[in-house]
């Protein structure tokens, strides 16, 4: 299954087998030292991360009952569990027969794990071997490491070398780096300049090489006009991007941007994707009517959901 990937439940074996390769040497060291394991009751040494640590149970609800592994970067990068769970159920509702999901920047496995709870084959890519290790460990704690395959590598390189195209993915998801917590410094987030490792147009093009169904998790202050332009440039003048503003506990967490026919009529899917109450609000809706996914211009439509938690 996915020759270029390592099965998450076999990373120890892979690290031992390829121990002469530098990245596997690092992986072996991490495994041997049980590195990055969180002691949930002990505040972190790094004071700057305290506010993230205080919210640790939002990131992984199993943090008190199972072993969770996090690097410093992951504290502010992992998708909170309720949001990741909502998205995974949403994708399942939109693509009920789907089997294979690719999570391009898998980080600590926040999204990968929730996808694996819904789909039988989930592939995670990240250029940090530490994060690949954390995803493997965390997925084990959630009992889904048998459904996850991982690959370390730079997204640009993997796509240009066509290293991932031997698998037919039903959906490609990515939560790319937003450039750290500073992403809110300006009113509008420039999706061409500040998104890593490439701007929105190139990123969309690269995702679409692998599946017609694409989702990205982007900053809440993303420039929607850039999103429209990228959509039309890559997919043609009549193409649409659905934008779902996601709130947790009344706080706007980010936006899910979706391309692909299966995401066009998602009213039904949002109802199916969340077992708790989902409410739509219009207070921060940029333009459009309450509760309706409204086309606000040629390139995008906007909706807003509050995941009560
Ligand atoms: C926002 S985090 C993803 C968090 C993840 N969704 C989760 O819930 O744990 C972004 C990830 O992208 C990875 N990354 C950054 N640049 C990359 C690149 N060029 N290729 C692959 N991964 C990259 C980082 O190592 C980081 O783990």
Pairing state between β 148-152 and 251-259: unpaired
Return the higher-pLDDT residue of 301 and 281.
301
pLDDT digits (tens, 9 = 90+) for 68-77: 999 999 999 9
CA separation for the pair 27, 131 (Å, rounded): 10
Atom of ligand 1 nearest to the CA of 103: 6
* Backbone dihedral angles phi then psi of residue 277, each to the nearest 5 degrees: -65, 135
Q: Are strands 6-7 and 100-103 parallel, antiparallel or unpaired?
A: unpaired
Asked if residues 167 and 100 have their Cβ atoms less than 8 Å apart, the reply is: yes
**Tell me, what's the pLDDT at 270?**
60
pLDDT at residue 178 tops 80: yes
Q: Which pLDDT value is given to residue 275?
A: 38
Nearest to 263 by CA among 22, 92, 117: 92
268 alpha carbon – ligand 1 mean position (Å) = 30
| Lowest mean pLDDT segment, chosen from 26-40, 121-135, 243-257, 266-280 | 266-280
Separation of 135 CA from ligand 1 center, angstroms?
11
Q: Which atom of ligand 1 is nearest to the CA of 108?
A: 9
pLDDT given at position 163: 81
Cis check: omega of the bond before 280, within 30 degrees of 0: no
Look at residue 292 in the predicted model and tell me its pLDDT: 38
Counting runs of H as helices and runs of E as strands, what totals does the chain give?
A: 12, 11
Please state, rounded to an integer, the average pLDDT across all residues of the chain: 86
87: number of Cβ within 10 Å = 26
Q: CA separation (Å) from 218 to 117, 129, 253?
A: 23, 23, 9
Q: Atom 27 in ligand 1: which residue has the minimum CA distance?
A: 107
Token pair 């990373």 is at which residue? Answer: 11
- Assess whether pLDDT exceeds 60 at residue 290: no
Residues with CB under 6 A from ligand 1: 77-79, 105-111, 125-128, 131, 154-155, 175, 177, 196-197
297: left (phi over 0), alpha (psi -120 to 50) or beta: beta
Task: Tell me: pLDDT of 274 over 80.
Answer: no
Ligand 1, atom 16, lies closest to the CA of: 197
Going by their DSSP bridges, the two strands 278-279 and 300-307 should be labelled as antiparallel
| 195 contact partners, CB below 8 Å, separation of at least 6 | 176, 177, 178, 179, 203, 218
Q: Give the closest residue (by CA) to ligand 1 atom 3.
A: 107
Say if CB 77 and CB 107 are below 8 A apart.
Answer: yes
pLDDT tens for 182-226 read 777 789 999 999 999 999 999 999 999 999 999 999 999 999 999
φ, ψ for residue 26, nearest 5 deg: -60, -45
pLDDT in tens, 61-104: 999 999 999 999 999 999 999 999 999 999 999 999 999 999 99
Residue range 230-243: mean pLDDT, rounded = 94
pLDDT of 8-33, one tens digit each? 999 999 888 887 788 889 999 999 99
Q: In a 3-state reduction of DSSP, which class is residue 174?
A: strand
CA of 134 to the centre of ligand 1 (A): 12
Note the pLDDT of residue 272.
58
Tokens of 25: 């040497």
Q: Is the pLDDT of residue 124 over 50?
A: yes
Per DSSP, the residues of 232-292 read HHHH-TT--EEEEEEEETTEEEEEEEEESGGGSS-HHHHHHH-SS-EE---TT-SSS-TTS
Look at residue 283 in the predicted model and tell me its pLDDT.
29
Atom of ligand 1 nearest to the CA of 197: 19
For the segment(s) 6-306, the CATH number from 3.40.630.40, 3.30.830.10, 3.40.50.150, 3.30.1370.60 is: 3.40.50.150
Task: State mean pLDDT over 156-172.
Answer: 91
Q: Is the pLDDT of residue 53 over 80?
A: yes
Query: Residue 135 CA: which ligand 1 atom is closest?
Result: 9
* Spans of all domains in the chain: 6-306
- Which pLDDT does position 249 carry in this prediction? 80
Looking at the CA of residue 134, tell me the nearest atom of ligand 1: 9
- What is the pLDDT averaged over residues 276-285? 31
pLDDT for 289 equals 34
Residue 280 pLDDT > 50:
no
- The yes-or-no verdict on residue 181 having pLDDT over 90 is no
pLDDT at residue number 4: 82
Spacing, Cα 198 to ligand 1 middle (Å): 12
pLDDT (0 to 100) of residue 48: 87
| Maximum separation of any 2 CA atoms in the chain, in Å | 59
Q: Of the candidates 34, 29, 55, which has an alpha carbon nearest to the alpha carbon of residue 44?
A: 55
Single pTM value for the model: 0.89
Task: Report CA(105)–ligand 1 centroid distance (Å).
Answer: 4
Q: Residue with structure tokens 């409410």?
A: 279
Candidate from 74, 109, 177 with most ligand 1 atoms within 8 A of CB, to mutate: 177
For residue 294, how far is its CA from the centre of ligand 1 (angstroms)? 31
What integer is the mean pLDDT of 239-252? 89
Give mean pLDDT, residues 232-252: 91
Residue with CA at minimum distance from ligand 1 atom 5: 107
Check pLDDT > 80 for residue 265.
no
Counting ligand 1 atoms within 8 A of each CB, the residue from 77, 164, 182, 206 with the most, and so the one to mutate, is 77
Q: Could you say which DSSP state residue 206 is in?
A: H
Do you know the residue count of the chain? 309
């Amino acid at each position: 299954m996915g020759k270029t990937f390592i099965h998450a439940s076999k990373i120890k074996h892979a690290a031992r087998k390829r121990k002469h390769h530098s990245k596997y040497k690092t992986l072996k060291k991490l495994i041997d030292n049980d590195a990055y394991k969180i002691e949930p009751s002990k505040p972190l040494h790094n004071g700057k991360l305290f506010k993230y640590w205080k919210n640790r149970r939002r990131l992984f609800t199993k943090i008190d009952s199972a072993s969770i592994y996090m690097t410093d970067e992951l504290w502010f990068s992992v998708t909170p569990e309720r949001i990741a769970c909502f998205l995974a159920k949403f994708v399942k509702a939109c693509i009920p027969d789907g089997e294979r999901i690719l999570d391009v920047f898998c980080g600590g496995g926040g999204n990968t794990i929730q996808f694996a709870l819904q789909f039988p084959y989930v592939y995670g890519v990240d250029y940090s071997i530490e994060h690949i290790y954390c995803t493997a460990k965390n997925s084990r704690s959630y009992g889904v490491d048998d459904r996850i395959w991982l690959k370390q590598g730079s997204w640009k390189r993997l796509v240009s070398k066509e290293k991932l195209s031997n698998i037919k993915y039903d959906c490609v998801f990515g939560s790319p780096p937003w450039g750290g917590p500073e992403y809110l410094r300006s009113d509008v987030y420039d999706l061409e300049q500040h998104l890593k490792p490439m701007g929105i147009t190139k990123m969309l093009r690269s995702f679409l090489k692998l599946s017609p169904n694409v989702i990205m998790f982007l900053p809440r202050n993303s420039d929607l006009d850039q999103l429209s332009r990228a959509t039309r440039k890559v997919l043609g003048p009549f193409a649409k991007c659905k934008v779902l503003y996601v709130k947790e506990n009344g706080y706007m967490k980010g936006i899910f941007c979706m391309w692909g026919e299966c995401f066009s009529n998602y009213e039904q899917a949002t109802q199916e994707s969340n077992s708790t109450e989902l409410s739509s609000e219009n207070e921060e809706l940029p333009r459009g009517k309450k509760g309706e996914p409204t086309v606000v211009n040629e390139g995008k439509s906007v909706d807003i959901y509050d995941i009560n938690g």
